[in-house]
Structure 1
Amino acid sequence: MDSGLILYIPGVVLVAALIVKLPALRRTGHDPLLRSVCALLLVGCAVLFLAAPPTIAAVNDLTGITNFSAPLVYCVLTAFSGSCIVLIINWRGGPPERIRRASKLCISAYAAVTILLVVLFALGEAPVERLRDLDTYYATTPFIREMIMLYLLAHTVGSVILTVLCWRWLRQVDGSLRTGLALIVLGGLLDVGYLATKFAAVFARWSGRDWDYLSTYVAPPLASAAALMVGAGFIFPLVGQRASATWRAYHQYRRLKPLWLELQGSTQSWAATMKIAWWSPVELRKSHREAAIHDGLLNIAPYFRASVRSDALAQALAQGLDRERAAVVAEAAMIASACRAHAAHRSDARPADPPPDAPRLQHTGGSDSLVSLSRTFGSPIVAVARRRAAMPESASHE
């Protein structure tokens, strides 16, 4: 049972990854890259589960054909090699017609190898069931020998192409994609180690030596680790990009808090009254906070004063801030002043709409601009503008 666990455990991990990707596949099933990822995960799961000795014995008993699992595992492993190359073709991108042509060529070549594996098994004779050492036990048997070499060669070609392409691409990218490619390269190197042990054990049989332990005990852990690394490598960029976007949205949500709090008393739309649960996706909470901010800015627009912004700009420049940063601080000061003026007149009649040449906000065009604006609300210059706006009209002009 221990030998089975070596393959079952990473198989379960790939099944979990496949389950995670299924909702996205239902939503965007036309995406060739996503289809390729799911196909790879599915075939990888099949390889790991079918190659485990307990499964091999069960399949042989179920079919009633001695060693029927051998061509089945070899065919699925060959399909896995082809799936890796197809995924790389789609991952790298390019003209759609070229991608389709290259994918079809790869699928056709590996389909031909799969058919030939079945034919060779049918032509050969393997009467003794071997659950763990079929490769070496039948290494000199006609047709079975050719079947073994064919699957090893097909898998070698796929593994080498995958590793080399990912290694070349690894040096051209960064971020989560680079990490994913590094995992694939590591998986490819482990797979090369698996193939080396298999070839060494088979060649040893041909020369009359017994190196069966390489194929029986060394190769399976290497295959398990290789499949896990390759699967993780293909999944990580997709998960990493999502995690990176979520992390960025979370930081923006947090950094918008000063501006959001400043405008809370000025926000009267659905954005202020609708409550968002704390367990809601952070992207939704960030969008809700931005909507509340924009609503508040619209409400206080009649209270914007160009004089407040120009005074704050002069102070910021005098303190040594660069022009761009000083402009953001000055805009924050004008907003803080307008919030206080709005609060003071909330019970009074709303002032007339500002004339067309009234000051307009210049740093609220997107999430990054709002975050930059929000982070300035701790500035002493903003605090001064806030205090002056809260002072009685007569006192503020003394």
Structure 2
Amino acid sequence: MIRPALDPSDFLTEFYISFRIPTAVLTAALLIKLPTIIRLWRDPLLRAVGGLLLLACAVFVFCTPSTIAAVNRLTGVPNVSAPWCYSLITAFCGSCLLLIIAWRNGLSDRSAGTRRAMRRVVRVYSSVIVTLWVLFLLADAPRERVRDLDTYYATTPFMREEIVLYLGAHTVACLITSRLIWNWVRTEGLDAWLRSALKLLGAGYVMNLAFDAAKLTAVAARWCGRDLDWLSTDLAPPVAAVSAILIAVGFILPHAGQYLHDRWRVRLAHRELRPLYRLMRSVNGGGVPFVLRAAPELRLTRRETFIRDVLLPLTRHVDTGLGRRSHRAALDLGHPPERARALAAAVVVLDAIGAGARAPEPHGTATGPDTTHLLQEIGAVSRALRHPEAIEAVRARAGAAAPGVTVPE
């Protein structure tokens, strides 16, 4: 048995770029999805996603030249890795189609037609896998090839049919999958994260078609007596790696993107409340106790609660007439309606703080709309407090006296 030596100068490029990086990304995608898959195991869509990611990881683990040589050496059968790798790729194709069937019919569809279609996919691709092993047993492939088996045995009886069979099954699955995904991208009402994920998945399956085209072209060239082996040995592996990364990121994006978006929104809301929070601390003399391991959501909730608790007794001192004048003044100064409401509320809050410090009894009429706005729109009021010059301009135009209160830096 002769084993072709791997070129050491190509090892890093081949192993880390073409195999290690996509394996790491696919594994990360699987680990992110795994808790949901286990929790909702009865969901066919999640099972299909889990199976696809697991098989994609297995493909890149077992199709590395070093693993191919190790499996051949362990079994003592030259090129036994060929039907094994082809079987994994074929199973991956079947998982793609099962995933599309689950997506196309929706999570709630348990109809006989859906179950029949999924059983048909399982039967067809299981038959392909069995046929791959039968063809390998019938073929004569004594010389081990860890990098160029597809082209080296492209004209060998039974191995030729096996190579065409696995590439054909892969091409058909990728064609159907990519077409359905791109059709879905064009539908209305998709979440932005889901639309972006589908675009990545669609691009990934298009790259898979490029992988198939490179392999089939190299094999067909051998049939015609020409040598285009570089398409199969040098171009196809990195194309497959890029495809795997796109598909993995496509599965990660909806979950990770929404998670990061929610965390950013919470942190931004917490930061936006800082001016109003500091103002309320100057009134109350205290603040929210710091907790080192508190989640961002809890910190935001505690800050909001503290602000409303301090604002509530101040509403007894709200001058609704000042609020109306300030709102008109803000509009006259050219501010948009929402910003005008926030600036007017900020003027009222500062005035109420000053009034509360001067007199124990309220000097205005506290009614529902203005106080409700103060308690519910604290984010807008806090953002307005970041612009003291705008507040001063509104107060001056409204003819209000200076409250003697400033926003803490």
Provide TM-score, normalisation by structure 2.
0.79
Q: Find the partner of 1:259 among 276, 279, 284.
A: 276
Listed one character per residue, the Cα deviations across residues 284-320 of structure 1 (whole Å, up to 9, x for unaligned) are 4333322222222234333333233233234334434
Distance verdict in 2 for CA 1:51–1:23, change over 3 Å:
same
Q: Which amino acid aligns with 2:305?
A: A
Match of 2:125 in 1: 110
Q: Find the partner of 1:332 among 346, 369, 372.
A: 346
Q: Name the stretch that deviates more: 57-66 or 375-384.
A: 375-384
Q: Which amino acid aligns with 2:327?
A: L
SS of 1:375's partner is helix
For the pair 1:307 / 2:318, whether they are aligned, the reply is no
Paired with 1:193 and 1:146, the residues of 2 have a C-alpha distance of 21
Match of 2:236 in 1: 219
Distance verdict in 2 for CA 1:108–1:97, change over 3 Å:
farther
Listed one character per residue, the Cα deviations across residues 115-164 of structure 1 (whole Å, up to 9, x for unaligned) are 33233333434333221122223323333322222211111012112222
Give 1:186 deviation, angstroms: 2.9
Distance verdict in 2 for CA 1:335–1:157, change over 3 Å:
same
Q: Which amino acid aligns with 1:194?
A: F
Q: Find the partner of 1:291 among 302, 305, 310.
A: 305
Match of 1:43 in 2: 55
Provide TM-score, normalisation by structure 1.
0.81
Paired with 2:338 and 2:214, the residues of 1 have a C-alpha distance of 63
Paired with 1:364 and 1:160, the residues of 2 have a C-alpha distance of 57
Contact 1:262/1:339 (8 A) holds in 2: no
Long gaps (5+) in structure 2: 1-5
Paired with 1:23 and 1:370, the residues of 2 have a C-alpha distance of 37
Listed one character per residue, the Cα deviations across residues 322-375 of structure 1 (whole Å, up to 9, x for unaligned) are 555433333332223233344556xx7xx69x9995665343676xx4322322
Match of 2:145 in 1: 130
Distance verdict in 2 for CA 1:34–1:248, change over 3 Å:
farther
Structure showing greater relative contact order (alpha-carbon pairs closer than 8 Å, 6 or more residues apart): 2
Q: Find the partner of 1:64 among 76, 86, 93.
A: 76
Root-mean-square deviation over aligned CA pairs: 3.4
Q: Which amino acid aligns with 1:74?
A: Y
Contact 2:78/2:143 (8 A) holds in 1: yes
For the pair 1:370 / 2:378, whether they are aligned, the reply is yes
Listed one character per residue, the Cα deviations across residues 190-233 of structure 1 (whole Å, up to 9, x for unaligned) are 22221112111222233333333322222222222221222222
Paired with 2:266 and 2:202, the residues of 1 have a C-alpha distance of 31
Long gaps (5+) in structure 1: 392-398
Q: How does 1:99-248 map to 2 (within 5 A)?
A: 101=115, 103-172=118-187, 173=190, 175-248=192-265
Paired with 2:378 and 2:27, the residues of 1 have a C-alpha distance of 42
**In percent, how many aligned pairs have the same letter?**
40
Paired with 1:76 and 1:281, the residues of 2 have a C-alpha distance of 42
Q: Which amino acid aligns with 1:376?
A: A
Match of 1:396 in 2: none
Listed one character per residue, the Cα deviations across residues 23-64 of structure 1 (whole Å, up to 9, x for unaligned) are 555566566555444433322111111111100111122223
